[in-house]
């Protein structure tokens, strides 16, 4: 074989290797120009004024760093009231505008929402508005919220049942309390309860607002003669709603109302992000969304 032919053959195998890498989805290394800014992951959370509750966000960020080691990671908060008081925080709009001016071309937005409600749909609208503007961000992918289809409902129900408080006994109720919404996506709460109760009949879902309210859940506990309940937030962080509406000292909190009705209460002040399997679900959702986009 002549030197030229050996060379040609080597070139051929290099081309094959490139094709293989492309086919395997390992396109990142090839697509990013060496000089340009890194692609980014923009995490979009509601935000919380409760310092301690941010441990849940920190836990999620660890998962993101592991899954996207080559990406620039940024945060944004959607709660307008918090953005007013915490000036250094950016809204998703502000964070995307900043990334655009920095010349970032690909942004993957990790939504830390639980259901596809108003907040999530606003985030989608924002992403669409910023995508493909002249000289702007070329591609913006948004991950689905934790609950978004039948499969995710079943998976999350399994994860929640596998990670119930260790000291909880079978005859004791566990009530996962989410935020609640008047948006049609509120149906995800009773849907999740359906799958949870299929796995453990004493596990319930409640919501602070609308949907499955305190009276509804209290009625369920009484109807099932349950005398003890574990209250666990079904929220990304165990922030203001958890500490006040659920566990607060006021007579109308979930804890005090249960106690007043003869139900013993244990509380778990932990956000969903502190459950590694759930954090993994969120991150996996972003990986899948990228493949589809
Ligand atoms: Co609220």
Cα–Cα dist 90/147, whole Å: 25
Distance 179 CA to ligand 1 centre (A): 6
Taken in order of first residue, the domains within the chain and their CATH numbers are: 3-146+275-292 (3.40.50.1400), 164-272 (3.40.50.1400)
Task: Calculate the alpha carbon distances from 49 to 77, 86, 239 in Å.
Answer: 11, 9, 7
Residue 142 near residue 289, CB atoms below 8 Å: yes
Q: What is the pTM of this model?
A: 0.86
* Ligand 1 center from residue 236 Cα (angstroms): 12
> Would you write out the chain's pLDDT as a tens digit for each of its 293 residues?
444 454 545 545 545 444 444 444 444 445 555 568 999 999 999 999 999 999 999 999 999 999 999 999 999 999 988 899 988 999 999 999 999 999 999 999 999 999 999 999 999 999 999 999 998 999 999 999 999 999 999 999 999 999 999 999 999 999 999 999 999 999 999 999 999 999 999 999 999 999 999 999 999 999 999 999 999 999 999 999 999 999 999 999 999 999 999 999 999 999 999 999 999 999 999 999 988 87
**Of 145, 139, 112, 115, residue with least CA distance to 127:** 139
Catalytically active residues are 179
Closest C-alpha among 265, 240, 243, 242 to residue 255: 265
What pLDDT is stored for residue 33 in this prediction? 52
What separation in Å is there between the alpha carbon of 240 and the centre of ligand 1? 8
Question: In angstroms, what is the span from residue 241 Cα to ligand 1's centroid?
Answer: 7
Contact between 157 and 199 under an 8 Å Cβ cutoff? The reply is yes
Closest by CA to 271, choosing from 116, 74, 57, 118, is: 57
């Amino acid at each position: 074989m002549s030197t030229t032919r050996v060379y040609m053959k080597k070139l051929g195998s290099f081309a094959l290797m490139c094709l293989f890498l492309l086919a395997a989805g390992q396109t990142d290394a090839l697509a990013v120009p060496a000089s340009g800014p890194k692609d980014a992951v923009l995490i979009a959370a509601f935000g919380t004024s409760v310092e301690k509750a941010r441990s849940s966000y920190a836990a999620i960020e660890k998962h993101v760093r592991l899954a996207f080691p080559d990406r620039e990671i940024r945060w944004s908060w959607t709660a307008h009231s918090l953005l007013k008081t915490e000036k250094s925080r950016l809204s998703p709009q502000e964070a995307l505008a900043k990334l655009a001016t920095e010349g970032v071309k690909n942004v993957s937005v990790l939504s830390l929402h639980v259901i596809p409600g108003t907040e999530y749909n606003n985030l989608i609208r924002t992403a669409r508005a910023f995508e493909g503007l002249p000289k702007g961000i070329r591609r913006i992918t948004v991950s689905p919220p934790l609950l978004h289809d039948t499969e995710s409902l079943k998976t999350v129900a399994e994860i929640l049942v596998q990670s119930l408080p260790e000291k909880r006994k079978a005859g004791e109720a566990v009530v996962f309390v989410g935020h609640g919404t008047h948006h049609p996506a509120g149906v995800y709460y009773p849907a999740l309860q359906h799958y949870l109760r299929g796995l453990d009949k004493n596990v319930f879902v409640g919501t602070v607002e609308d949907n499955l309210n305190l009276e509804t859940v209290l009625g369920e506990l009484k109807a099932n003669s349950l005398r003890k309940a574990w209250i666990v937030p079904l929220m990304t962080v165990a922030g203001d709603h958890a500490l006040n509406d659920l566990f607060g000292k006021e007579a109308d909190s979930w804890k005090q109302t249960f106690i007043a009705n003869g139900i013993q209460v244990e509380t778990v002040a932990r956000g969903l992000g502190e459950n590694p399997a759930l954090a993994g679900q969120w991150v996996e959702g972003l990986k899948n969304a990228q493949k589809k986009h």
